[in-house]
């Protein structure tokens, strides 16, 4: 089956298999869904299926023809990926995309000559988006367009109405955890990573990053110390403010929220804690405050994580949370 390298996503795969069967010539698709749910993998698979000269039954790319081999090497001239240049995708990028496909001969009935992918399509400038719209409306050659977006509602409505939406949905944490364990990720990292990420690609990237384990240990260390006495934890936070990246701080606040929710659940006997290898210590900690206190701290951690996007100081936010946690 084509698209077998995309984990999960049965609906997206069915839609794409049908699309390949019916013909993708001149069509445009919008792969919409959270980060790490396999959108780019699916785009590559679609390109392989479209560009293969001798597809096998079930529209599987043959893996042998010249086009399949070029795709495997990442050197197919008809497969173009456009990504933000800095903050945004600019009009020049869309223009060079148009120029690249415009002058190819397009004989009636010919197979598609190219597939282009626009990653983070919601980051096109207004001019770039309008330029793309014209390209979508007047396909000079039978190219296949794939727009990829996490926040599809940020795209121009006129673009949204031109593309077929293929939804990519978050995978259940239990499924992600199982896949991470299969890939050899340690259990104490697999469990929280499966809750923080929406898809296997993002979860695996997070769990196998060098800083994830360190961040986990550090943040939970602060939180535990803050319950006993807040001063020592505050001194420690200061040391990390310049060392950690924005992504790392975001993950730190998410882990903090998970840990507080764990304590609330342990206190009232809810779901199995995410950090269950510390179950006894968690039970002792949980009994030191009311369950509502832990729930409030979790909520505040989620709000603090959102505020990071508005360029607040992560150190100040974390200190505020630790003081709140101490109560």
Q: Minimum distance between the CB of residue 49 and Zn ion, rounded to whole angstroms? A: 9
Among residues 199, 217, 207, 216, the alpha carbon closest in space to that of 183 is found at 207
CB-nearer residue toward Zn ion: 68 or 233? 68
Binding residues for Zn ion, per CB under 5 A?
52, 61-62, 65, 68
Instruction: For helices 200-207 and 187-196, give the axis angle rounded to 10 degrees.
Output: 130
134 alpha carbon, distance to own chain's centre: 29
Q: Minimum distance between the CB of residue 161 and Zn ion, rounded to whole angstroms? A: 33
CB-nearer residue toward Zn ion: 65 or 133? 65
Distance between CA 59 and CA 218 in Å, rounded?
Answer: 49
Please say whether the beta carbons of 313 and 320 come within 8 A: no
Q: How many CA atoms lie within 13 A of 56 on its CB side?
A: 10
Q: Minimum distance between the CB of residue 48 and Zn ion, rounded to whole angstroms? A: 8
Distance between CA 280 and CA 243 in Å, rounded?
Answer: 32
Please say whether the beta carbons of 20 and 13 come within 8 A: no
CB-nearer residue toward Zn ion: 9 or 24? 24
Q: Minimum distance between the CB of residue 109 and Zn ion, rounded to whole angstroms? A: 19
One DSSP character per residue, 35-95 reads TTSSHHHHHHHHHHHHH-SSPBGGGB--S-SHHHHHHHTT--TTEEEE--BTTBB-HHHHH
Q: Minimum distance between the CB of residue 113 and Zn ion, rounded to whole angstroms? A: 15
């Amino acid at each position: 089956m084509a698209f077998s390298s995309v984990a999960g996503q049965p609906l997206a795969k069915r839609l794409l298999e049908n699309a390949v069967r019916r013909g993708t010539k001149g069509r445009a698709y919008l792969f919409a869904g959270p980060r790490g749910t396999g959108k780019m993998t699916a785009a590559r698979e679609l390109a392989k299926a479209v560009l293969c000269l001798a597809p096998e039954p079930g529209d599987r790319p043959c893996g042998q023809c010249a086009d399949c081999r070029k795709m495997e090497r990442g050197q197919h001239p008809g497969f173009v990926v456009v990504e933000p240049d800095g903050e945004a995708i600019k009009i020049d990028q869309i223009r060079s995309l148009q120029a690249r496909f415009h002058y190819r001969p397009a004989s009636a009935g010919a197979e598609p000559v190219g597939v282009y992918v626009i990653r983070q399509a919601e980051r096109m400038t207004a001019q770039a988006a309008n330029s793309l719209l014209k390209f979508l409306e007047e396909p000079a050659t039978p190219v296949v367009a794939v727009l990829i977006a996490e926040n599809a509602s940020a795209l121009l409505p006129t673009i949204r109405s031109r593309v077929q939406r293929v939804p990519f949905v978050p995978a259940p944490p239990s499924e992600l955890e199982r896949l991470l364990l299969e890939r050899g990720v340690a259990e104490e990292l697999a469990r929280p990573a499966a809750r923080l990420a929406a898809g296997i690609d993002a979860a695996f990237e997070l769990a196998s990053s060098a800083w994830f384990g360190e961040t986990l240990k550090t943040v939970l260390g602060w939180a535990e110390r803050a319950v006993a006495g807040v001063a020592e934890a505050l001194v420690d936070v200061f040391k990390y403010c310049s060392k950690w990246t924005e992504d790392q701080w975001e993950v730190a606040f998410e882990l903090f929220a998970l840990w507080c929710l764990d304590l609330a659940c342990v206190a009232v006997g809810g779901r199995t804690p995410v950090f269950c290898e510390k179950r006894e210590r968690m039970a002792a900690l949980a009994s030191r405050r009311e369950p509502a206190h832990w729930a409030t701290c979790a909520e505040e951690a989620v709000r603090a994580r959102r505020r990071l996007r508005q360029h607040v100081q992560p150190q100040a936010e974390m200190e505020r949370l630790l003081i709140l946690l101490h109560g």
